[in-house]
Every structure is written in structure tokens, then in C-alpha cells.
Structure 1
Amino acid sequence: MTQVMETMQLEFSEKLSAIDNSKALNELRVEYLGKKGKVTGLMKEMKNLSNEERPAYGQKVNELRNTIEGQIAELEAELSKKALEEKLAAETIDVTLPGRTLEIGGSNPIDRIVEDIEDFFIGLGYEIKEGYEVEQDYYNFEALNLPKSHPARDMQDSFYISEDILLRTHTSPVQARTLEAQKGEGPVKIICPGKVYRRDSDDATHSHQFTQIEGLVVDKNIRLSDLKGTLELFAKEIFGSEREVRLRPSYFPFTEPSVEVDISCFKCKGSGCNVCKQTGWIEILGAGMVHPNVLEMAGFDSKEYSGFAFGMGPDRVAMLKYGIEDIRHLYTNDLRFIDQFIPTEDGGEQ
């Protein structure tokens, strides 16, 4: 029997030397040390031995078991160490390599223009005021010199929720509410950015929802020349220092006198092109002196106070500044469009 054990030991050692993974090692353990394993089978031979032979035989079998268990444990430790080293090697980080570049997103052109306009007017001492997108008819129209029978209401085809509630058609209600809150005491110097809604066709230049920024200044001795000077500074800041401004007579119910404001074409420098429709000028906003009725309804003495107001669409400003031909590009969130406005390292755009 001793010869059988020695042969089994040699056979095990040969098989063990060929093992290179934990799964195969476990299978070899079961083959020799399992309930039906070869070493366990040797113990069953004790029933065929005399009482005198059993102790020595049992000792030899236990020695064989201990030897095999020790060899298995030793190889198991080596395999575990090797697996750990391979894992560490695979996950090694080379700290000398350059870091991964994070992709920088780009803001929508409207957001960029709104921020630029806000920064400009904040620099002139204006406050930013925001209001309700769902507004009362009174503040949207009547407080702005547009009573229910006024024909100018037809100029703004509105989304009514009820007889007296609608989606605001301009940000002017913010001006009306601000004036009312002042209780007849100036000065007032605000801009009002926000979304507005009108029942308009969705084509290349119109949308039922768009962004608007309006400005309002009310104080003593405010004149039309103050408005013109402000708008000249604005045009040069947004469109370039060479821009010129002209005012054309117009009509708005809440201002008197009212003007349309044009800037000299930044593409052709006034010689005429497709952008300015061969006129040399581009219309950018409407403005005027605040109508006395608007001041009086808000509690201001129109003989003591005067003011000017203006309103522009950042959508249109963005289209002009960046040469965007279709307003719908501003709202579709198409990354192929937005990525064109990602800032570069030198402060420009891609």
C-alpha cells in the first residue's frame, strides 16, 4: 500500500504542475480530496487490514492528505497573487499621460445674446425685472393704453386662457407692474427679459413663442435724445463700434412719439446687400417716449415725470449677429447647430 501512496503522490504532483488556473486546481482538489476522491478511497482500505496494521496505514494516508493539501494551498496562493498582479497591471494609470479632455458644451445663441444685453444694461445701472408668463389682460393691454375696444389689439393675436387671463404677448406687463409698485415715485430704470407668446405662423422668421427684452426709464426730464444715445451705445456694443443708428417715426399705443430703430448694415457697411434688402439699414427694435396715459394709470404725474421705453427680440438680434436664416434653428436643440457656437480657447467660436 505504501507503493500505491507514493505513486499517487507522484501522479498528483505531475497533474499539479500543469495547473494554471483556480478552476482546474479546484477540480484537482475534488479528484483527490473529495468525498469520492482518491485519497479518501485509501481510507476505505483500512477494513481489509489487521488491527496492528491500521494505525501505521492511517498515519501514512493522513500524511499524504496533508502533503496534498499543502501543495494545493501553496499553488492557490501563487495563482491568487498572479491574478492580483495581472489585474493591477491592467488597471495601472500612467499619471504622466495627458488628462482626458472634457467636451465643452455651447449655450444657445439666444441665451448668449440675452446675457450680453443684460450685461450691457446692468453696466448702465439698469435692474433686471421678470414677471408672469400667464398674465392678466389688464396689465398686458389696458395698463399700457390698450383698452378692450382698441384696434391695436389686433396687432397682437393672443392666446387667451379665459376672458381676463392670457399668455403675455410682450414683457411690457412687467413695466406696468413695476411702475404701479413705485406708487408714483421715480426713478425707474429696468430691463425685462422673458418668453412671450403670439399666435403667429411657424415659418423661417416667426414663431408662436419667442424671447423679448424690453427696457424702461422713467424719471424727471427724460428726453428722446436720452433714448437715442442709449440705443447708439447698445448698437455699437452688440453689433460693432462702426454702427450708426437712425430713428423712423412709427406708432405704438404705449409710447408717444414712437419710433422704429434701424442700424447701419454690418455686412455691407450701408452699400446694400441681401441682409439689409439693399437699403443699407436693418430694423432691430421699436421704442418711444412713454405715453402720458401709461404714466397716469400707474400713479405718476406725467407733467413731472417722463420716460422712454424700447423693446427688441433677442431671437432677431441673434439671427442678425450670427447670420442665422431660420428662427426655428434656435429652438430645435440640434447639436449640429449648437456646436457652431462653442467658445474656443481664444474666446472666439468654432
Structure 2
Amino acid sequence: MENLLEQIKGYKEEIAATQQNGAAALETFRIRFLGTKGIVKTLFAEMKNVPAEEKKAFGAILNEFKQFAEDKYEQWKAGLESTEVESGTAFDYTLPGDPAPMGSRHPISLVKNDIIAIFRRLGFSVAEGPEIEDDFHNFTALNLPEHHPARDMQDTFYLHQNPDWLLRTHTSNVQVREMEKGKLPIRVICPGRVYRNETISARAHCFFHQVEGLYIDEHVSFADLKQTLYFFVQELFGNNIRIRFRPSYFPFTEPSAEMDISCLLCHGKGCNVCKHTGWVEILGCGMVHPQVLENCGIDSNKYTGFAFGMGIERIAMLKYQINDLRLFSENDIRFLQQFTGSF
């Protein structure tokens, strides 16, 4: 105990000799003497080694030392605050807070919301479905049976095999689930994220976003499809945009087509973006294949329909003249700040 008393005496002399020397020194003093691992705590921990008959007297000495250190700290702190007020460096807590910076929606969300708003005006509702899907809803129901060569165009990420579960390659799986409900007519758009085993580059990524549409009713024709897409493109890009359809192939539609618009960057004159053709492909479309209708329990002799699908990134790149697909997913604040104020 005599050794502890000598230590306390030395610490008191050190505290008494300590001079006020700024906020940093004050914090150092607090940590050294009053912190959770400071000298006061350490001395109190020594109580277990003091003989029982001396604990009361030693406890009184410790409490007096603790009070001495705390008083020195509070005195120093008060003097420091007084000095700050006199010098004008003290913080005025009555001042209004700094304004929070205005955020913005992601460009993908902006374009998705624009697309949804346009098709809502045509009577389309929004349908969503799972991103982890079974083989039937992602491939087989869409006239893509096992070993079909068109599956190679949608190489994807499998999570389980036999049975096959995978990350969906398109939002067509949502269309299948809507058709299986049997509530006709159907007029839906299906936005969402999809995945494909692609090499990441300025023009491709292993995940991206789609909006697909489906309309099934009696007497639906290709003319209905064309007029729907004409309206959509002109609402999104303006009335001066030129549009063309090219024959194409998709297993789930027949006949099928790709739809191009005149390049927004060169206005149809030819540039690197449009590969000097003056045209940019924005979506694929066609009449729903009768086999797809039958796979989903819909009478193909009574009902017809059309479907279309587009990549939201492709639309956003054209709308905002962005030349690198990777910018959408890199979370670069310098890129995202350009859309502040957009809703």
C-alpha cells in the first residue's frame, strides 16, 4: 500500500504542475488520468490487493485523488472555453445547420420511370417477378427447349442444376407468370434487372436492366404493335425522330423485328455510335409465338398478342449521350452529380 500512496503523491504533483496548453493537451490529460484505461481506473483496480483493514482509508485517498484530477480537468476546460469566446474562435451553437446537399435519382431510374409513365398512358400496368428463376419460366415456356441453339445467346449464371435454377436472362419470365394466371386480356410492362455471362466493356455488362411489354387479347395485330412503339418513341425522344423495323428472329415471337431509331448524336448522318449507318437499334419485338401461348394455357386460336423488350441502359445512353455502360454501376459521384435536380 505504501507503494500505491507514493504513486498517488507523484501523480498529484504532476497534475498540480500541469499548465493549460490548448484543446489537444486537455484531451491528452483526460485520456491519461480519467479515461477508461487511465490512471484513476488503474488505481481503483488495485483495491483488490489492499488488506481488508486498510481498504476504507485507501478508498478515501483514491476518491480524493479522483476528485482532484476531475477538478483540474474542469478548471482547465472552463478556462479554454473562456479563451475561445474572448478570441472569437468558439463555435456558436445558435447558428443554423449546414444545408444537406440535394441528391438525385440514378439515371437508370429516371429513364425507367419515364418509360413506365408513357406506357401507363396506353393502359399498361406494371408487373414484377423473381430475379432467381427456374428453367421453365426463363427458357422452356418461351419456346426455348433444352439444347436449343438460341440459348447460347443468353448464357447465364446457374445457381443449381437438376433442377436448373438461374439468374434470369430477361424479364420475359414475368410475362410467362402473368400469362399463367389466365386473366385475359393482358397488358403489362415488366421492368427489372437481368443477368448474362458477358465480358464487361463499354458496351456490355454481366447485369443490366430491361423493360419488356406484353399485350394479349382477341384480334391483336402487328399494326397494333407498330403504333404502340411509334407512340412510345416519339413521346420519349420527340416527334422528329425517324423509326424503322427490320425483320429478325426470336424463338418466342413470330414474326419478329428489331426497331431502330435515327441516331440522336449525328442526326442520321453517321458516326461511331451508330457505326456510320445513321441508325441505332433500341429494342426487339414481334407477335407472341402460338406455342408460347399454348405453353401458358392460352388458346392460340382465339387470342393473339405482341411483345417487346428493351435495355434501359441503351435508352439512357442515347437520351443522355453517355458513351460507357460501366458508368451506370461504378458509383462515381462525379458522374451521378450531373443528374442532380432530375426527378
- How high is the TM-score relative to the length of structure 2? 0.71
Contact 1:231 1:245 in 2 (8 A): no
- Matched with 1:294 is 292
The whole-number CA distance in structure 2 between the counterparts of 1:319 and 1:220 is 36
Matching of residue 198 in structure 1 with residue 199 in structure 2 = no
Matching of residue 238 in structure 1 with residue 239 in structure 2 = no
1:90 Cα deviation after fit: 6.2
Contact 2:264 2:318 in 1 (8 A): no
> What's the secondary structure of 1:276's corresponding residue?
coil
> What's the secondary structure of 2:181's corresponding residue?
helix
- Matched with 1:19 is none
Q: How does 1:92-103 map to 2 (within 5 A)?
A: 93=94, 100-103=98-101
- Matched with 2:175 is 175
- How high is the TM-score relative to the length of structure 1? 0.70
The whole-number CA distance in structure 2 between the counterparts of 1:335 and 1:94 is 29
The whole-number CA distance in structure 2 between the counterparts of 1:91 and 1:280 is 62
1:118 Cα deviation after fit: 1.0
C-alpha distance after superposition, 1:302-347 (max 9, x if no partner): 1111000001000111111111111111001010110111127xx8
Contact 1:198 1:209 in 2 (8 A): yes
Number of residue equivalences: 262
- Matched with 2:61 is none
The whole-number CA distance in structure 1 between the counterparts of 2:230 and 2:263 is 14
- Matched with 1:91 is 92
Which runs of 5 or more residues in structure 2 are unaligned? Answer: 1-77
1:243 Cα deviation after fit: 1.0
- Matched with 2:166 is 166
> What's the secondary structure of 2:314's corresponding residue?
helix
Query: Partner amino acid for 1:168?
Result: R
Query: Partner amino acid for 1:125?
Result: G
C-alpha distance after superposition, 1:10-52 (max 9, x if no partner): xxxxxxxxxxxxxxxxxxxxxxxxxxxxxxxxxxxxxxxxxxx
Matching of residue 306 in structure 1 with residue 307 in structure 2 = no
C-alpha distance after superposition, 1:232-251 (max 9, x if no partner): 11111222221121110000
Query: Partner amino acid for 1:318?
Result: A
Query: Partner amino acid for 1:178?
Result: E
> What's the secondary structure of 1:189's corresponding residue?
strand
The whole-number CA distance in structure 2 between the counterparts of 1:220 and 1:290 is 13
1:160 Cα deviation after fit: 1.2
Contact 2:265 2:321 in 1 (8 A): no
> What's the secondary structure of 1:120's corresponding residue?
helix
Say which is worse superposed, 133-142 or 297-306, in terms of deviation: 297-306
Q: 1:204 to 1:92 in 2, by over 3 A?
A: closer
Tell me the percent identity.
52
Q: 1:93 to 1:114 in 2, by over 3 A?
A: same
